A and B are shown apart, each in its own frame.
Chain A
Amino acid sequence: MLTIKNLHAEVEGKKILKGINLEINKGEMHAIMGPNGSGKSSLASVLAGRDNYTVTEGEVWFNGKNLLDMAPEERAREGVFLAFQYPVEIPGVSNLNFLKTALNEIRAYKGLPALEAREFLKLTKEKQQLVDFHSNLMNRSLNEGFSGGEKKRNEIFQLAMLDPQLAILDETDSGLDIDALRIVSNGVNKLRDAEKSFVVITHYQRLLEYIIPDFVHVLYNGRIIKTGTKELALELEERGYDWLKEELHLKESV
């Protein structure tokens, strides 16, 4: 579904991604871990099309289409979704109106008619329950004055509403309380199916106890330096990243 080949990207002249290779197939759950500043959010941003990043080398293919050629909205309509590490507050844009616009633009792209008001409300109710997203937040301005946890839930609520093929969750777990973490993880698990793939970026093995990954990647200094299974996350939790960095230096000095 998604193929990343030797991806290099920089921001404001600073090299951030230095040759990422990653293959994600239908139905897979990938976790990306790695120290602060290693480039995890940058990778997510490049995939979603944030334009302050310049891709200097490499390719990204999504369902056979060149993702890097597309505007951010086209990527979303093709089925790529990014749950932001820091969701933006937009005063004056109502959550509901925003979602309706987004949903209908995606539907129009797929040649589907706009949802009728009643159908839209029905869908909203259903997905709201999935992540236990309070209905009073629905009528407020987009993320305005939302608590950290409420913003993260809103990201997952949007994910449920827009139903993408590939969802990238950037530290959705940070800021969530213990109950919310369970609820949101259950929500994500319910959305999983054989057609959909996920990339979860996280610092904590705890999330991966709820959302069991098929693969765990370690991103360090703009590169994936190790790939393993869920056991790798446990090991990282215990030992930190230093041993990996050392391993890498040994390899590089050879």
Chain B
Amino acid sequence: MTSDMILPFYQALTEDVNALSAQVPALATDTLQDIRRKALERFSAIGLPTLKTEAWRYTNIQRYLKEFPYELLSTASPVSEAVINSTAIPELDCYRIVLVNGHLQADQSTLPQGKGITVGAMSAHTTAPGFVTYFNEQHHLAAESLAQLNTALFADGLYLELAANTVLDKPIHVVNVYSCTAHAFIQPRHLWILNRNAAATIIETSVHPETATIAFANSVLETVVLENAELWHYNVQQGAESFREVHTTAAQQHKDSRYHHFNFTLPNTPFTRNNLSVALNGSHTETNLNGLYIASKHQHVDNHTFMDHIMPDCNSNELYKGVLLDNANGVFTGKILVHQEAQKTNAFQQNNNLLLGAKADINSQPQLEIYADDVKCSHGFTAGQFSEESMFYLRSRGIGEDAAKALMVNAFSHDITDAVKVPALQHFLQTQIAEIMNN
């Protein structure tokens, strides 16, 4: 896709982003093209985050963008079943949706079918009523320049809409394959909508099969959970040395809805930034945000979360746990904003870390902004090592040091893994954790 006339990607981002928009396919409607243009303008106006950008104080994204000569990649080439299966979850009875660089691979997918289910490529649903209503509607995206970049330049992604009262009988497993033959910057864009009383469980995994070429994904997912609907979303980031990721999830919840978000970041992706925001647009909602990050070597994992309590009588619970090995570096930001109208809010947040590497490090910052008076909010942070007493107890029973550590890490993460409602996934994660610790 590059020619001599085109600036290198990073330079284009900072100097001539318009040149990049010529490289991506046009979207179907004028309204969308308009949204794109505005996003590009906004991106140009705010620019890439620097260490002076409040939300990026501990993460130098420019360093990672400059690290390799990326090219914007908007297409997909076929991938083998073996690649897809490398991220399979044993014993999981599910629908499978395969996306390569965001592009739906229909013949390798088993899509849920039936009344009330709309599922397919974003590019094929740009005139669907749900798309028209909710695409790019989440106002939190406006503040994030990488989300703007995605809006301006994305090619495709997964569109899913469940009509009112539609309950999926099985989980959906979305396999995100990022595949490239040259260093590539890939921007999938998804929109999932659960209408009134709908319910679904969606599990995401990802794989980047190439080891010699670096894939940098900048994906954006918007989820809309309407009245009394319930979404269980599990994002499992199994890493690779040759992968980099900025993952933005913007959720909105309406009256009486329930949203359960799980984020698992496992080794070895050198750079991961997860932006997660939840806007509570209705009352009597329940939100559970669970995160577990296990990082090794020189990994940098940044979880940036934002609970936006706009309406009264809502409950949110956030628990992020980190295991930092070797020289791994963790960042956690937990912003809770309780608007003046959001009386009777319960908002709890906790971030616990095990610092196991000699040079492992965590920067954790709660940001509570509370403008209502009748609320219950709390936050907490811990960082520590294994208890010597516990280690000695386990070892005195014949359990070797590594196995003892694995048991302790499993124990540390058990309140997150226990909350996973899909047994096959729970087992898969526990096995993954044990394997990581035994290495």
The one of B389, B401, B412 that contacts A88, using a Cβ cutoff of 8 Å: B389
Given contacts A92-B414, A92-B415, contact A105 B400 (CB under 8 A): yes
Given contacts A88-B390, A90-B390, contact A73 B400 (CB under 8 A): yes
Does A114 sit at the interface, judged by CB under 8 A? no
Residues of B within 8 A of A92 (CB): 410-415
Does B408 sit at the interface, judged by CB under 8 A? yes
The one of B389, B394, B412, B415 that contacts A98, using a Cβ cutoff of 8 Å: B394
> How far, in whole Å, are A88 and B389 apart by their CA atoms in the complex?
7
Q: Interface 1/0s, chain B 373-409, versus A by CB < 8 A? A: 0000000000000011110111111111101100110
28 contacts between A and B (CB under 8 A): A48-B396, A49-B395, A49-B396, A50-B392, A51-B392, A52-B388, A73-B395, A73-B397, A73-B400, A73-B401, A76-B399, A87-B393, A88-B387, A88-B389, A88-B390, A88-B393, A90-B390, A90-B408, A90-B411, A92-B410, A93-B407, A102-B394, A102-B399, A103-B398, A105-B400, A105-B403, A158-B397, A162-B397
Residues of B within 8 A of A50 (CB): 392
Q: Interface 1/0s, chain A 98-128, versus B by CB < 8 A? A: 1001110110010000000000000000000
> How far, in whole Å, are A92 and B394 apart by their CA atoms in the complex?
13
B403:A101 contact, CB within 8 angstroms: yes
B398:A109 contact, CB within 8 angstroms: yes
Residues of B within 8 A of A73 (CB): 395-401, 404
Residues of B within 8 A of A72 (CB): 392, 395-396
Does A148 sit at the interface, judged by CB under 8 A? no
Residues of B within 8 A of A81 (CB): 396-397
Does A66 sit at the interface, judged by CB under 8 A? no
Residues of A within 8 A of B410 (CB): 92-93
B48 vs chain A, min Cβ distance (A): 41
Does A82 sit at the interface, judged by CB under 8 A? yes
A91:B389 contact, CB within 8 angstroms: no
A65 vs chain B, min Cβ distance (A): 15
B319 vs chain A, min Cβ distance (A): 14
Q: Number of B residues contacting the other chain (C-beta, 8 Å)?
A: 24
- The residue in chain B whose Cβ has the minimal distance to the Cβ of A107 is B398
Please list the residues of chain B having a beta carbon within 8 angstroms of any beta carbon in chain A. Answer: 387-390, 392-401, 403-404, 407-408, 410-415
Please list the residues of chain A having a beta carbon within 8 angstroms of any beta carbon in chain B. Answer: 48-52, 71-73, 75-77, 81-82, 84, 87-88, 90-93, 97-98, 101-103, 105-106, 109, 141, 158, 162
> How far, in whole Å, are A162 and B398 apart by their CA atoms in the complex?
9
B396 vs chain A, min Cβ distance (A): 5
Q: How many A-B residue pairs have CB under 8 A?
A: 80
Residues of B within 8 A of A106 (CB): 398
B415:A82 contact, CB within 8 angstroms: no
A147 vs chain B, min Cβ distance (A): 18
Residues of B within 8 A of A109 (CB): 398
The one of A71, A93, A141, A162 that contacts B395, using a Cβ cutoff of 8 Å: A71
A105:B392 contact, CB within 8 angstroms: no
> How far, in whole Å, are A82 and B398 apart by their CA atoms in the complex?
11
Residues of B within 8 A of A77 (CB): 398
B403:A84 contact, CB within 8 angstroms: no
Inter-chain pairs besides A92-B412, A93-B411, 14 sampled, C-beta below 8 Å: A73-B398, A73-B400, A73-B404, A82-B396, A90-B393, A90-B408, A91-B414, A92-B410, A92-B413, A92-B415, A93-B394, A98-B407, A101-B407, A158-B397
> How far, in whole Å, are A103 and B399 apart by their CA atoms in the complex?
8
Residues of A within 8 A of B388 (CB): 52
User: 5 tightest A-B contacts by CB?
Assistant: A92-B411, A76-B398, A92-B414, A102-B397, A72-B395
> How far, in whole Å, are A76 and B404 apart by their CA atoms in the complex?
14
Residues of B within 8 A of A51 (CB): 392
> How far, in whole Å, are A81 and B397 apart by their CA atoms in the complex?
7
Residues of B within 8 A of A87 (CB): 393
> How far, in whole Å, are A98 and B410 apart by their CA atoms in the complex?
11
Residues of B within 8 A of A93 (CB): 394, 407-408, 410-411
- The residue in chain B whose Cβ has the minimal distance to the Cβ of A164 is B398
> How far, in whole Å, are A77 and B410 apart by their CA atoms in the complex?
23
> How far, in whole Å, are A91 and B389 apart by their CA atoms in the complex?
13
Residues of A within 8 A of B413 (CB): 92
Given contacts A88-B393, A90-B390, contact A102 B398 (CB under 8 A): yes
